[in-house]
Structure 1
Amino acid sequence: MPAAVPTFDEYLATLGSLNVHTDPTVSTPVAQDIKRAYYTLGAIPTADLSLASLTLWVQTNPTWVPVLGLTVGLGQERLKNELKHRFDTSGWVTLARLRGAELIEWLDNDFDLLRLLTIQRFAHYDFGDVLVERAGTRVTATQAGISGRKVEDEIEAIAAGLGLPNQTRTRFIGRNGQTAPCDLVVPGLGDAQIVVAAKGFNSTGSKLSDAVREIQEMAAIRKPTQFVMAVIDGIGWKSRVADLRRIHQLWADGEIDGMYTLATLDTFRDDLEEAARLRHLI
């Protein structure tokens, strides 16, 4: 492990954004697919729009079920959850092919599909409507999830690159049989030698305080023979500096063995390899 702990300000300076800005006016394959689905829905004459015609549409185009979900305000994750609850499966392609009539009837009974389609198919929207939609929670929540997983994916890839057996997003057993959450454990939760927290946030909120609490738990139950490390990044932490400082203090006090950002992953890799060699895992 590194002999010298950088100051908090030095650490803070290495934080970066986890999101790459994308131009919202540039189309994507997903957007184009949604538009193709819309055009086929729009081609159904108003007089023919019915549960029967929508059943035929969804059986013919089973991959476009999420477009019907969007029509009634269901994002993809919520659609999956609702399907699992109602049909005990989230596989909408098979549902559409084999139980299309049931699927359409459910969407209409529970979410008013037919009425909402009739209202929205040929409605006119202005720029203000576009901005309101972009401000919705669906896009924000999706990007937040991607940001958080970016840090987890990076440390998992490094462990795999070193040939270290590991488990992810689990708990590990520490002193006196106590357990604490971790995002990576080497070699496994029953024989935890190295545990790592991965906490990436570009936005602020209670999740950052939860992340601090998790790392404090890890430090509190660690055995003297266990290494505890944390990879933390994202500009959201700059709005919760006091929380980040608490983690840095754990590092300064020797209660955890390292604290890194994506900018210092080379150091994390070296320290992880050194810890693994000390525990004869390499």
Structure 2
Amino acid sequence: MEWLADPQIWLALVTLTALEIVLGIDNIIFISIQAGKLPVHQQEKARIVGLGLAMFIRIALLFSLTWLMGLTTPIFSVLNNEISGRDIILISGGLFLLWKSTMEIHEKLEGEEGHSVSRAGATFAAVIVQILLLDIVFSLDSIITALGMANRLAVMVAAVVMAVGFMMLFSGKISAFVDRHPTVKMLALSFLLLIGVALIGDGFDMHIPKGYIYFAMAFSVMVEMLNLRLRRQGAPVKLHNPYVEEPATTTGAQDNI
């Protein structure tokens, strides 16, 4: 248990938890929209069940990927570098993060508004199934990010549980904060680019000390906090969102007077 006294472990936990929360905003938005299709008395239950499923899916993926990371027997060589199963996972995960973050940045800045809203039936079971399927997609970048930032499974699981618990309590306030400050979302996506490069480097045995990554993130966050204080009066940029609520329609005729 000596690792509990390592300050870098606690720094990794705090940083990873914060990043998991920001990266989970899209998941919160999707779950809220899907739950909004249900009767009012079922919406809160659907949100809690959806976020709970997201937590268990991420933990299961963490255990499976961490087990696969133990496959260190070389399979083939590339440019005199022996590539094992672990290296394949790291390189594939890094490439996925580069692709996902680039596509997300493009979608947020130039994408079509509301194009990914599901139009399936609004029964409770149907909504939960849709949330379950989308949780798997939303979880991939979160899990790969955890693998790139922390070396211990306990830290990764603790960060996921803390982030989901925080989102269950403050999902509305978190979404509102990111809506007011969209550059926070862009900053988190840029962190994914950084982590993706670090994962690819690890896969090819070019290790980047995690302290450098933490310092770069902390410095960027500090600069962004200063920017937010200076831009209090200005209107923020409106990011595009693939999951938006459809405008409410009024039905029925007005009573004749």
Output the TM-score relative to the length of structure 2: 0.24
Q: Determine which structure has the larger helix proportion and give its number.
A: 2
Q: Determine which structure has the larger strand proportion and give its number.
A: 1
Output the TM-score relative to the length of structure 1: 0.22
